[in-house]
């Protein structure tokens, strides 16, 4: 597999990189993205690919379930760098359909895993909010639709969590950044704003 990626890189260098060499040489001296994108690690949801963005346009942080953990020093560092140094104008939290994290969160029964359930506890209130409004369905098709509600509610929850960070609250108050909740549907390829 790695050999295939190395061959793909040769194609990139001979094509895109050579054709737009001035652009890539400029990127070699620094970056100035306008967006911080907080997305899921899912291999099917590559931000640049689904948005048509060029290299250097999006500063990306990805993790399981596109979660913004409150009080996370790693994440706080990303926020500080994006807002204070890169001066991004927009912060996106992007969820998606068929999210394995949300499937794990909504699965009934005990898990024998150590880390995933602990991490997903940061999204549990999204599931609880949906359960309070819409009972968990019994059938597979109903469950798929219900899980989408959880996926979308998780995006809204993570936007709330973003606002617990002083740097985001201050930048939003000063109208330096705007927060957006997006959702990508794997079946249709459509990216839409949901919050």
Q: Return the pLDDT at 108.
A: 76
**94 has binding-site annotation:** no
| pLDDT of 160 above 80 | yes
Position 109 scores a pLDDT of 74
Q: Is 40 annotated as a binding residue?
A: yes
Q: Is the pLDDT of residue 16 over 90?
A: yes
Query: Binning pLDDT at 50, 70 and 90, where does residue 54 land?
Result: very high
Distance of CA 53 to the CA centre of its chain: 15
Where does the pLDDT of residue 26 fall: very low under 50, low under 70, confident under 90, or very high at 90 and above? very high
Tell which CATH architecture fits domain 33-193: 3-Layer(aba) Sandwich (3.40)
Query: pLDDT value at position 111?
Result: 81
60-115 pLDDT tens trace: 999 999 999 999 999 999 999 999 999 999 999 999 999 999 999 999 777 889 89
pLDDT on residue 82: 98
Mean pLDDT along residues 136-150: 95
pLDDT value for 31: 96
pLDDT at 188: 98
Position 32 pLDDT exceeds 90: yes
Average pLDDT of every residue of the chain: 96
pTM: 0.95
For CATH 3.40.1050.10, the residue range(s) in the chain are 33-193
Look at residue 49 in the predicted model and tell me its pLDDT: 96
Closest-CA residue to 78 (of 168, 183, 151): 168
% the chain with pLDDT above 70: 100
| pLDDT value for 74 | 96
């Amino acid at each position: 597999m790695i050999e295939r990626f190395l061959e793909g890189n040769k194609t990139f260098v001979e094509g895109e990189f050579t054709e737009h060499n001035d652009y890539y040489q400029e990127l070699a001296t620094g970056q100035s993205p306008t967006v911080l994108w907080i997305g899921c690690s899912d291999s099917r949801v590559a931000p640049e690919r689904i948005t048509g963005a060029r290299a250097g346009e999006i500063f990306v942080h990805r993790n399981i379930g596109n979660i913004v953990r409150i009080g996370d020093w790693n994440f706080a560092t990303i926020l500080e760098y994006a807002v204070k140094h890169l001066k991004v104008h927009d912060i996106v939290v992007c969820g998606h359909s068929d999210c394995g994290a949300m499937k794990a969160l909504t699965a009934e029964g005990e898990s024998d895993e150590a880390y995933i359930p602990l991490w997903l506890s940061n999204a549990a209130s999204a599931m609880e909010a949906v359960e309070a409004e819409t009972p968990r369905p019994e059938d597979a098709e109903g469950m798929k639709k219900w899980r989408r509600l959880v996926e979308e509610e998780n995006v809204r929850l993570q936007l709330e969590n973003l606002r617990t960070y002083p740097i985001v609250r201050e930048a939003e108050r000063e109208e330096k950044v705007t927060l957006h909740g997006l959702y990508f549907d794997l079946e249709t390829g459509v990216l839409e704003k949901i919050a």
